[in-house]
Amino acid sequence: MTEYVTGAAQFTSTYSVKNPSLNTIYFRAMYAGDLYLLGNDFGTGVFLGGPPRFVGGQNPESGALGGLQEVTPWSAFEEACWNQTPEGRCPGAAPTDAGNWHNVRETVDEANAFNNAIDPALIDNGVGVEWDQFRGAGLNNGEVATFSIINRTQVPSNLQISPVNQTLTQGQTATVNVFATDLAGNPYAGKVVHYTISGANPQTGTVTLNSAGQAAISYVGKNPGIDTDQLFVDLAGTGVQTAGDPAAAATATFVPPPPKPTPNSSYKIQSIKVNSDGTTTIVFVPVQAGTATLEVTVPTGTIARHDATAAKKKCRKGQVRIKGKCRPKNTLTGRVTAKGLAGVALKLTVKASKKVKAALRKGRTVSLTAKLSYKSALGGAPTVKVFHFKVKAKRKHHH
């Protein structure tokens, strides 16, 4: 029984053998045929180990693949010349190749009709399989043996790729997705895709299609320019492109990255305010994003001892002697750091230390130095501005 639906890529044939006699019968079951794909008799042998196993041939001009797929397990298989005779040799076949039809007719006394081999040459080919289990054991009276096989063809469709064109920045990764099926939508799973990239980033390579017939080719565009990617699915597995192999092309353009802007750490002061308690606030607008630091210092003597004297001999430069000890000439009263954004006003406030506030409460005049430093996130030298202030304590009014 053979069932076929018009337009289908395959159909199943099933044969049942019943022994109606009183004796055991011995036989070899075979299924064989000529391969004539898309109007062409010639093909190269193809065997897929499965499961299920497949044996057949492929015509390199059309890329069409046809043959037999296992349902009931075979004892042996062969793809060879369809019918080799002394009068007419099969074009392209070896002289030792007797041909499939010869094997069907003349091997009744042989252990096997077929040799479990395929012919890689381009020949007028055929294919056959056999079942030998009843050749030795026999089929008894009333028993039924069933043999099923799938007749399958694959006619390739165009290779689908995406994207066909892409533009990237130099140093980025280009990816080309490929999708390969036959006209019936069956994926070319396990087939190898060869690609050759010419242009700014030349290279070659292969990828293997997954079970869905898909694969991706990725590479880094180290050089600027245009790349052309030529791809084909190696249906015959020879490594050489034939007319029937699905093929396509894609382009990738890599453009140089834009030049980096020059670091600019400048800024514009909007306001500066020092409160009567010594708290200092500066508002400014930076040109570029970056980091700002505001430090406020006070002479050490102002908050430690009113009559501090400069020590020229026993203290290091920049120090003063207070109560017999060398101390820094200036003391940090506060520091604050913050991130700035280009064109956005940034407010920094440093609160006065307890000692500064105490000195002001005692009626002293305190000299404050505010140092504003800003450095662009792009690097370069920071812009530093220094401001000096004197804060006088407010006089108390008695009523």
Q: Which of 255, 284, 300 is the endpoint of a domain?
A: 255
Quick one: average pLDDT of 47-72? 88
State the CB neighbour count (10 A cutoff) for residue 156. 22
> In this structure, are residues 207 and 193 in contact, taking their beta carbons and an 8 Å threshold?
yes
> In this structure, are residues 134 and 29 in contact, taking their beta carbons and an 8 Å threshold?
yes
**Banded pLDDT at 103 (limits 50, 70, 90):** confident
- What was the pLDDT predicted at 321? 65
**Banded pLDDT at 58 (limits 50, 70, 90):** confident
State the CB neighbour count (10 A cutoff) for residue 311. 18
Quick one: average pLDDT of 104-116? 89
**Banded pLDDT at 107 (limits 50, 70, 90):** confident
The token duo for 372 is: 């504003």
Is 99 within a domain? yes
- What was the pLDDT predicted at 235? 85
Q: Is the dihedral of CA 85, 86, 90, 94 positive or negative?
A: positive
38: left (phi over 0), alpha (psi -120 to 50) or beta: left
Name the one residue in this structure whose structure tokens are 């004796």. 23
Indicate if the pLDDT at residue 47 is higher than 70.
yes
Quick one: average pLDDT of 66-74? 95
* Predicted structure pTM score: 0.53
Q: Which of 255, 279, 295 is the endpoint of a domain?
A: 255
Same domain membership, residue 380 and residue 272: yes
Q: Which residue has the higher pLDDT, 194 or 4?
A: 194
Domain of 28?
Answer: 2-154
Return the half-sphere exposure (C-beta side, CA atoms, 13 A cut-off) of residue 308: 21
Name the one residue in this structure whose structure tokens are 């869905």. 212
pLDDT in tens, 350-375: 998 888 888 888 888 889 999 999 99
- What was the pLDDT predicted at 95? 65
Same domain membership, residue 217 and residue 140: no
Cα separation, 148 vs 95, whole angstroms: 32
How is residue 88 annotated by DSSP? S
> In this structure, are residues 232 and 241 in contact, taking their beta carbons and an 8 Å threshold?
yes
Same domain membership, residue 90 and residue 75: yes
93: left (phi over 0), alpha (psi -120 to 50) or beta: beta
Cα separation, 231 vs 159, whole angstroms: 9
Cα 72–chain centre separation: 41
- What was the pLDDT predicted at 306? 44
- What was the pLDDT predicted at 60? 81
Cα separation, 143 vs 137, whole angstroms: 12
Q: Which of 203, 224, 255 is the endpoint of a domain?
A: 255
Quick one: average pLDDT of 59-86? 87
Q: Which residue has the higher pLDDT, 152 or 301?
A: 152
Least-confidence region, from 38-42, 161-165, 197-201, 208-212: 38-42
Is 301 within a domain? yes
Is 177 within a domain? yes
259 beta partners: none
Same domain membership, residue 16 and residue 117: yes
Is residue 382 packed enough to be buried (19+ CB in 10 Å), middle (13-18) or exposed (0-12)? middle
In percent, how much of the chain has pLDDT > 70?
89
Mean pLDDT of the chain: 88
Indicate if the pLDDT at residue 309 is higher than 60.
no
Is 209 within a domain? yes
Indicate if the pLDDT at residue 317 is higher than 50.
yes
**Banded pLDDT at 312 (limits 50, 70, 90):** very low
Same domain membership, residue 359 and residue 226: no
Is 214 within a domain? yes
Same domain membership, residue 95 and residue 46: yes
Indicate the number of domains in the chain.
3
pLDDT in tens, 145-176: 999 999 988 878 889 999 999 999 999 999 99
Same domain membership, residue 384 and residue 357: yes
Cα separation, 385 vs 264, whole angstroms: 15
- What was the pLDDT predicted at 93? 67
Same domain membership, residue 167 and residue 141: no
Is 398 within a domain? no
Is 262 within a domain? no
Task: State the amino acid at position 103 in one-letter form.
Answer: N
Same domain membership, residue 327 and residue 283: yes
- What was the pLDDT predicted at 397? 52
Q: What is the CATH number of the domain that holds 320?
A: 2.60.40.2550
Quick one: average pLDDT of 340-356? 94
Least-confidence region, from 91-95, 266-270, 281-285: 91-95
How is residue 323 annotated by DSSP? T
pLDDT in tens, 203-244: 999 999 999 999 999 999 999 999 999 999 998 788 999 878
Same domain membership, residue 169 and residue 215: yes
**Banded pLDDT at 135 (limits 50, 70, 90):** very high
Same domain membership, residue 234 and residue 165: yes
Same domain membership, residue 149 and residue 17: yes
Is 36 within a domain? yes
Q: What is the CATH number of the domain that holds 183?
A: 2.60.40.10
